[in-house]
């Protein structure tokens, strides 16, 4: 359901953002990054971030891994695709 101003009718769009990342395994070890920003500052995570306009999912995942972990990776195959809606985004019918 869209948030619409009752006075002027302006729509506040909350468009979903595509997040991409890599699950990197090398020598039986998994590459993790320590978060430097909130949320979850200081916790460990997979290298991931927002997909940029014009990138494929594989290109974005590779770029994020290079930016966050200085690791140049080759995407072998997709591992998972998860649909995680915002709280309250899904309505039951």
Query: Which CA distances in Å does 24 have to 3, 51, 53, 81?
Result: 39, 18, 24, 16
The architecture (CATH level 2) of 16-69 comes to Alpha-Beta Complex (3.90)
Dig out the tokens for 49 from the structure.
């971030």
- pLDDT tens for 53-87 read 999 999 999 999 999 999 999 988 888 887 777 65
Which residues are within 8 A (CB) of 21 and not within 5 positions of it... i.e. 6 or more apart? 46, 47, 48, 49, 61, 64, 65
Confidence of residue 92 (pLDDT cuts 50, 70, 90): very low
Write down the domain spans for the chain: 16-69
- How far is the C-alpha of 34 from the C-alpha of 56, rounded, in Å? 25
- How far is the C-alpha of 43 from the C-alpha of 23, rounded, in Å? 16
């Amino acid at each position: 359901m869209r948030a619409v101003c009752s006075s002027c009718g302006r729509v506040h769009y909350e468009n979903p953002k595509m997040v991409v990342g890599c699950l990197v395994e090398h020598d039986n070890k998994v590459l993790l990054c320590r978060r430097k920003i909130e949320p979850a500052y200081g916790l460990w995570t997979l290298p991931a971030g927002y997909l940029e306009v014009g990138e494929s999912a594989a290109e974005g995942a590779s770029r994020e891994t290079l930016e966050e972990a200085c690791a140049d990776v080759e995407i072998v195959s997709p591992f998972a695709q998860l649909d995680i809606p915002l709280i309250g985004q899904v309505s039951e019918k």
